[in-house]
Structure 1
Amino acid sequence: MGSLPNLESPLQTSRISTVVPATPRGEENSAYNLNYMDLLMKLHYIRSIYIFNSESVQNLSISDLKTPMFPLLDLYSHVSGRVRVSESGRAFIKCNDAGVRIVESHCDKTVGEWLDENEYSLDGLVHDHVLGPDLAFSPLVFVKFTYFKCGGLSVGLSWAHILGDAFSAFKFITKWSHILSGQAPPKSLHMPNLTKPQFLSNYDSHNNNPISIKRATIIGGYWLNPNDSYVATHTFHITSKQLQHLVTSYTYSKSTNINKKYFEIISAMIWKCIAQIKGDFGHKVVTICTTNFSNRVENEFPTNGLVLSKIDTNLSPKEVDILELVKLIVEKKINENYVLEKLVEEGEGKDDFIVYGAKLTFVDLEEADFYGVKINGQKPILANCDFHGVGDQGVVLVLPGLEDDDGNNGRMITISLPQQELDQLKCKLAKDWGI
């Protein structure tokens, strides 16, 4: 996860082109100022894939797929820009219509063969890009179209996190699919209703160094943190029946007044499993990453509307009941956004930080419109997301799953951890939970 970009898999051949906004800005180049949360996320990247069967994409050429990008980028003008650094050292985006990159790739396997070999992995289906070392020539977004031997298609998005969070990335590629289907793009995007972080009375003002992030050192001008160990990624699919079994057999069978979501229960289960694997070194400090979903609106301008909270407990996660960990996640997390903003602004936006994986990080994406991407009215047969640039403590993404045969949704759990820990977690989840 922390390595520099690797070019293409030997199974594929690729061609790269550029798409710019349909309406040139000419001399109207403007600067898009990055806020503190954008700058916190500068070393992270959001990657997602959407795989469609051949029936969904019949007769669609690469030209058909690229055409919706032109009007889409009229809305997302800063997405076509390039990062610059001011004399003060603070980064911003110059809206200069430099464009996003389109990658056309061909794979000599069928969709079925690919999935049999790679399961839910994004590797090879998303262009592996990072910003730098020459920021003036580093695109902020890559969209990769991979044609399979059977006629199926994968749409892979690589999105620099400074542009916005995963909700924003998903909305961007969903808007592309809407325009592809013939819908007119909205006339404008709405600025989100994001409130300024407030100082919380339950925060320890005498010890206001945030623990949900850590400082990073970038190497060779690449905006990517080097890891101390190899961080691998694996996705677990939990069906709706498995979710119900998890809830009813363990947590809901015990009396509690907590209004639980699947996110809290899944996070507690995985937190406990990882703590048991690590033994006495199990995580007593974790980061919970959420968003105020009620403030998110349709046709929203991309933003990093995240809430980063810490949980610092004296309990031993490997020993306590899962319900106790659920209570910690629901009741005891402390919002660190105020001190994070203060830290970034005091450094004038020049410092580099790791957020995902600075501590073991749980990211709630349950309410994301993950399957809004449709081609010819058809949903993808598989969709997945992971984060690039994850620190050594790892990250857990809780995503909605596709509908099961009974019409209910399970969950996709994408986990990035050091390889040995991830291998042990796979065995433990299979043995203890049948996942």
Structure 2
Amino acid sequence: MGDQKSRVNVHSVLTQVSSRPSASDETYPLTRLDHAMGHHTIHVIFYYEKSPFGSFDMDPIRVTLSEVLSSYPPVTGRLTRDDAGNWAVKCNDAGVRVLRARVGITLDEWLRSADGNEERDLTVWEDMPEVPNTWSPFRIQAFSEAHHGQAITFPPFFKPPAPPDRKFSVNNSKSTSYLEAKLQKQTPSVKMSTATFKFSDSVVKQCLSEIHDKCPDASPFDLLAALFWIRVVHLKGPKHDDHTHSLSLCVDFRRLLQEPLPYGYFGNALNFSLLSLNEEEMDCSMLGRVAELVHCHVSGLKEEEFWATLHWLDLQKEEGGKYAPPFAMYGPEFTCVSMEHMIIGDQPVMYSMNFDSAKPVHVSCHVGNAEGEGLILVMPSAEAGLARTVMVTLPEEETAKLCEDQSILHLKPTMLLRSI
């Protein structure tokens, strides 16, 4: 799209408050993981074939939103610092921003012609100012259940996980060794672009059957993480240092703990770990083997790794109890995020957001400030079964090459929001 004017026209900004005030003196401290990931933001976009706002009259929706916000007091609060200098949300009922915009083309035209960078205009994000006491860190959350008079399926749970009585050593933890190394790395500044690939249920099933002898328990995530890792390594060309290729794997831990966190946990339960393979293992013809290694790594992650990471973050505190400055979590290494936790039973949660009996036809998720070697998000898809959507963010030239990669095109993905 170059420097041409955005087709997203934001014409009004509203502030929506909750229908019932919260306790004005209540605060929610941000967790250790929240502080560590302070460089990053999350932007989720739901696409519907029919506008959930009817004739653009948002009044009925705003009434419902007010009710929902009453259950999420941190969303309507503002960021502040505690006595140690750490971030917390002050629940002062200041409200959440609601932005109204128009795009003068149809949904199909947008998905075919917009690129990943232009799509970010739909999130209309603004950087946090130096003094954030009047700045809203949240935009609209999904609230379709309440709009239809239904109970919230996964009610919010705000209490962060409490560590078990036993202690966890950081010395033998793979995750903490990896995070320690991250602190020493610099993230190169390059222009990034994004492309989206949608793989059908039948194609994913066929690919899993083809690698069954190598990895009989492979999940769609194992398969697609291995495929895109191999192809990106191939297009980047041979390495000239230690001939080792590394992939940072990000998984959600809320259901993997001995005392699982509720699905409605309103917080951060992500864990990053590193898988490294040599060039022989990354050979283009060994998809099944790489998928097996990804599967063994992810399924072998234990609760101890999660707690050891939190303990390590505590050890990085400055004198007085202030958390260390944030650093690049989604990078600088090539990073792959599993969103399999967003599928409960066989239902992808993000595609159950009903408006007037219509479900999203597509959901995008962007991670702010994901730089370095690149990022892959393996997400649920609108199609039932094993269908998956893969969003890839790479340096601009590499994105263009990946979109022409025959090993990926052979699987006949639907390509959306491709950067030009």
The TM-score range, normalised by the shorter chain, is 0.7 to 0.9
* Alignment-mate amino acid for residue 416 of structure 1: T
Structure 1 contact 358–393 (Cα < 8 Å) conserved: yes
Separation in 2, partners of 1:247, 1:212: 34
C-alpha RMSD of the superposition: 3.2
Say which SS state the counterpart of residue 234 (structure 1) adopts. strand
- Deviation at 1:410? 1.3
Residue in structure 2 matching 1:71, options 61, 67, 72? 67
Indicate the residue corresponding to 2:276 in structure 1: 312
- Deviation at 1:261? 0.8
Indicate the residue corresponding to 2:217 in structure 1: 259
- Deviation at 1:310? 1.8
Indicate the residue corresponding to 1:341 in structure 2: 310
Separation in 1, partners of 2:395, 2:7: 25
Indicate the residue corresponding to 2:345 in structure 1: none
* Structure-2 change in CA distance of 1:83 and 1:276 (3 Å): same
Structure 1 contact 44–388 (Cα < 8 Å) conserved: yes
Indicate the residue corresponding to 1:20 in structure 2: 17
Indicate the residue corresponding to 1:290 in structure 2: 251
Say which SS state the counterpart of residue 294 (structure 2) adopts. helix
Residue in structure 2 matching 1:361, options 303, 317, 335? 335
**What does residue range 106-117 of structure 1 map to in structure 2 within 5 Å?**
106-117=102-113
**What does residue range 280-429 of structure 1 map to in structure 2 within 5 Å?**
280-281=238-239, 284-292=245-253, 294=255, 295-297=260-262, 300-316=264-280, 318-319=282-283, 321-332=286-297, 336-345=305-314, 346-347=316-317, 348-368=322-342, 369-403=349-383, 408-428=385-405, 429=407
Separation in 1, partners of 2:104, 2:170: 59
Instruction: Compare relative contact order (CA 8 Å, sep 6+) and give the higher one, 1 or 2.
Output: 2
% identical equivalent positions: 19
- Deviation at 1:329? 1.6
Separation in 2, partners of 1:291, 1:83: 25
* Structure-2 change in CA distance of 1:11 and 1:96 (3 Å): closer
* Structure-2 change in CA distance of 1:411 and 1:209 (3 Å): closer
* Structure-2 change in CA distance of 1:212 and 1:239 (3 Å): farther
- Deviation at 1:178? 0.9
Structure 2 contact 43–366 (Cα < 8 Å) conserved: yes
* Structure-2 change in CA distance of 1:29 and 1:216 (3 Å): farther
* Structure-2 change in CA distance of 1:268 and 1:338 (3 Å): same
**What does residue range 199-214 of structure 1 map to in structure 2 within 5 Å?**
199=168, 203=172, 208=177, 210=179, 213-214=182-183
Indicate the residue corresponding to 1:125 in structure 2: 122
User: Is 2:236 the counterpart of 1:278?
Assistant: yes
Structure 1 contact 215–352 (Cα < 8 Å) conserved: no
* Unmatched segments (≥5 aa) in structure 1: 1-5, 144-171, 218-225
Indicate the residue corresponding to 1:248 in structure 2: 209
- Deviation at 1:363? 0.9
Structure 1 contact 66–102 (Cα < 8 Å) conserved: no
User: Is 2:118 the counterpart of 1:102?
Assistant: no
Length-normalised TM-score, structure 2: 0.80
- Deviation at 1:237? 0.7
Say which SS state the counterpart of residue 229 (structure 1) adopts. coil
Separation in 2, partners of 1:201, 1:137: 39
Say which SS state the counterpart of residue 113 (structure 2) adopts. helix
Length-normalised TM-score, structure 1: 0.78
CA offsets per residue over residues 373-409 of structure 1, 9 Å max, x none?
1101210222222211212122111111112xxx545
Indicate the residue corresponding to 1:190 in structure 2: 157
Say which SS state the counterpart of residue 402 (structure 1) adopts. coil
Separation in 2, partners of 1:431, 1:59: 40
* Structure-2 change in CA distance of 1:423 and 1:104 (3 Å): same
Structure 2 contact 78–89 (Cα < 8 Å) conserved: yes
* Structure-2 change in CA distance of 1:260 and 1:337 (3 Å): same
* Structure-2 change in CA distance of 1:201 and 1:125 (3 Å): closer
Structure 2 contact 214–288 (Cα < 8 Å) conserved: no
Structure 1 contact 291–306 (Cα < 8 Å) conserved: yes
* Alignment-mate amino acid for residue 177 of structure 1: S
Residue in structure 1 matching 2:139, options 126, 142, 160? 142
Indicate the residue corresponding to 1:37 in structure 2: 33
* Alignment-mate amino acid for residue 303 of structure 1: G
- Deviation at 1:362? 1.1
Separation in 1, partners of 2:409, 2:50: 37
Separation in 2, partners of 1:215, 1:372: 42
- Deviation at 1:274? 1.0
Q: How many residues align?
A: 383
* Alignment-mate amino acid for residue 150 of structure 2: Q
Larger deviation: 237-246 or 259-268?
237-246
- Deviation at 1:238? 0.7
